[in-house]
A and B are shown apart, each in its own frame.
Chain A
Amino acid sequence: MTSSSRAASGAAIYLLLGIGAVITLAPFVFSVLTSFTSTRQFATGTPLQLPHPPTLANYTGLADAGFGRVIAVTALMTAVIVLGQLTFSVLAAYAFARLHFRGREVLFWVYIATLMVPPTVTIVPMYLMMAQAGLRNTFWALVLPFVFGSPYAIFLLREYFRTIPADLINAARIDGANTLDVLVHVVIPASRPILVTLTLITVVSQWNNFMWPLVITSGPKWRVLTVATAGLQSQYNAQWTLVMAATTVAIVPLIVVFVVFQRHIVRSIVVTGLK
């Protein structure tokens, strides 16, 4: 290839990549701008004008609609699930990776088999189970199905734990460390990257979870951000400035997390399939 045709193909690639970037980002830019536009300007002007002057009225409107509590519930739910899932997954993965016990292979096979169970299929029976347990519209109902660890996290952690040199663990044992000491002082510090990955996966998937909170909660008490955003849209269909403030609140925290951890996230998507 001559150097001029190489330059031409480079320019063509940048052009296409740039078009892709505009198509990807424009919707976000439009919605954030709209969230700072007054209802009056939105109604009278064309929808794509810059907000003049920018207003926070839509965000105070969200506060009036109870979004303060909604954000708190969402954050609490996410935190509880992340903590439980990591703790219980680490415990189980350590047993599967490092201890020899009867039934280990069968049990692990059962865990892996449950990866095939799609959430769409379990949602209806789980609703019945929660209803029978009298847990509809409680905080328990939001967190219980996810808090006991996930087979997928256990699978990834087990793979990782197996790469930790046995000498490291044996040395600690000789020094008199029990299993808990070994986990806290040897295994967990050696597994920082995978633990960060799993934390990110869980935060993203729980913050974004919609179908389960939608069916199992009702009313404002345990409403989470995804359900509140969808509810606002159907309630105030035409009030797009308010609705765009809600989508911004739902989206921006994760974009911030993404920007901070972007190298890590991009790598872990490829390693784990991040779902």
Chain B
Amino acid sequence: MASPRVRTSVLAYALVAPSLFGVAVFLLLPMFVVGWLSLHRWDLLGPIRYVGLDNWRSVLSDGTFGNSLVVTLVFVMLVVPAQSALGLAAASMLGRRLPGSGIFRTLYVVPWICAPIAIAVLWRWLLAPTDGAINTLLGHRVEWLTDPELALPVVSAVTVWTNVGYVTLFFLAGILAIPDGIHDAARLDGATAWQRFWKITIPLLRPTMFFVVVTGIISSAQVFDTVYALTAGGPQNRTDLVAHRIYAEAFGTAAVGRAAVMAIVLFVILIVATVAQHLYFRRRISYDLV
């Protein structure tokens, strides 16, 4: 008869087994497979051939991937500050707790709940050149998605429109967690609403800011659905975000090895960005909370 300790371990591993299988096969194994694939050539159907560092050389030397990294960087720098600023502005208005605030808060989250691909298809119509809703309202034709200068800002704007309500929720929770007493004391000392916002609300929201910015960067660096339906990376690759480039290489031109290289580079960039921000914000946060 096994000891109770051993029996507990057997039971525990039996309970953990299904999820352990899932984690091992669908999260850990792919990380090894992607590394292996980056050293091979595969066209989705035929045999897989070892090609050494060929994929790495070709991806790092041609301009397509470099362009995607730059496009993604610009996209992240357009989306994250805009959605954070708008979310903060909305949250500070909702934080006044005027009657009906709850309804607005809920309304703003609706786009975020919906399928991003459906949202993108919807906006494709709203922005359509001749029979789209927006050009009809404007009364003249603007090439929102085919003008090389406009396409990336427009795709960014649609992303911001989708995310603002979600970001607002976090800032609102942060604002409502600030004790009223702090504001009351500052008010007694003669601080204006504007001063209180910058000297109390903003510093105390640093942890929220950290969360919103980090998750904002990680998710916007991986946006795929929105560009897939709005622009398919065009015009002239101006909206060719990294996730879309990976998809296009693997499933468009069937250069799976090259797509694997790009996926690895994206992964490393996301990890470095996360760690760097952790280090930066940890210093600032601990300083503020003293």
In this complex, the interface size class of chain B, counting residues with CB under 8 Å from chain A, is 35 or more
Q: Does B107 lie within 8 Å of A34, measured CB to CB?
A: no
Contact residues in B for A254 (Cβ distance below 8 Å):
113-115
B255-283 interface code vs A (CB 8 A; 1 in, 0 out) = 01001100110110011001000000000
Beta-carbon nearest neighbor of B174 in chain A: A270
B21-46 interface code vs A (CB 8 A; 1 in, 0 out) = 11101111111011001000010100
- In the assembled complex, how far is the CB of residue B205 from the closest CB belonging to chain A, in whole angstroms? 14
Q: In the complex, what distance in Å separates the CA atom of A251 from the CA atom of B169?
A: 21
Q: In the complex, what distance in Å separates the CA atom of A14 from the CA atom of B96?
A: 11
In this complex, the interface size class of chain A, counting residues with CB under 8 Å from chain B, is 35 or more
Beta-carbon nearest neighbor of B223 in chain A: A120
Contact residues in A for B105 (Cβ distance below 8 Å):
266
- In the assembled complex, how far is the CB of residue B48 from the closest CB belonging to chain A, in whole angstroms? 8
A233 within 8 A of B: yes
Q: Does B111 lie within 8 Å of A47, measured CB to CB?
A: no
- In the assembled complex, how far is the CB of residue B59 from the closest CB belonging to chain A, in whole angstroms? 13
Beta-carbon nearest neighbor of A91 in chain B: B15
- In the assembled complex, how far is the CB of residue B194 from the closest CB belonging to chain A, in whole angstroms? 12
B74 within 8 A of A: no
Beta-carbon nearest neighbor of B93 in chain A: A13
Q: In the complex, what distance in Å separates the CA atom of A21 from the CA atom of B103?
A: 10
Please tell me which one of the listed residues A24, A92, A246 contacts residue B16 in the complex, with CB atoms under 8 A apart. A92
> Interface centre among A102, A121, A269, by most B CB within 10 Å?
A121
Interface residues of A in 94-121 (CB under 8 A from B): 94-96, 99-102, 104, 107, 110-111, 114, 116-121
- In the assembled complex, how far is the CB of residue A84 from the closest CB belonging to chain B, in whole angstroms? 8
Q: In the complex, what distance in Å separates the CA atom of A13 from the CA atom of B136?
A: 29
B110 within 8 A of A: yes
- In the assembled complex, how far is the CB of residue A229 from the closest CB belonging to chain B, in whole angstroms? 6
B52 within 8 A of A: no
- In the assembled complex, how far is the CB of residue B184 from the closest CB belonging to chain A, in whole angstroms? 14
Please tell me which one of the listed residues A25, A111, A233 contacts residue B124 in the complex, with CB atoms under 8 A apart. A233
B65 within 8 A of A: no
Q: Does A211 lie within 8 Å of B225, measured CB to CB?
A: yes
Please tell me which one of the listed residues B22, B44, B98 contacts residue A14 in the complex, with CB atoms under 8 A apart. B98
A76 within 8 A of B: no
Q: Does B246 lie within 8 Å of A120, measured CB to CB?
A: yes
Q: Does B166 lie within 8 Å of A269, measured CB to CB?
A: yes
Q: Given the interface contacts A100-B8, A230-B229, does A118 sit within 8 Å of B27 by beta carbon?
A: no
Q: Does B270 lie within 8 Å of A128, measured CB to CB?
A: no
A–B complex contacts, Cβ < 8 Å, 12 sampled: A28-B110, A30-B133, A117-B27, A120-B246, A121-B264, A124-B250, A129-B30, A179-B15, A226-B115, A233-B229, A255-B113, A269-B109
10 smallest A-B Cβ distances: which pairs? A148-B22, A125-B33, A149-B19, A208-B115, A101-B12, A125-B30, A250-B118, A122-B30, A95-B15, A92-B19
The chain A residues found within 8 Å of chain B, CB to CB, are: 1, 10, 13-14, 16-17, 20-21, 23-25, 27-28, 30-31, 34, 42, 46-48, 88-89, 91-92, 94-96, 99-102, 104, 107, 110-111, 114, 116-129, 131, 144-151, 154, 179, 204, 207-208, 210-211, 215, 225-226, 229-230, 233, 238, 240, 243-244, 246-247, 250-251, 254-255, 257-258, 262, 265-266, 269-270, 273, 275
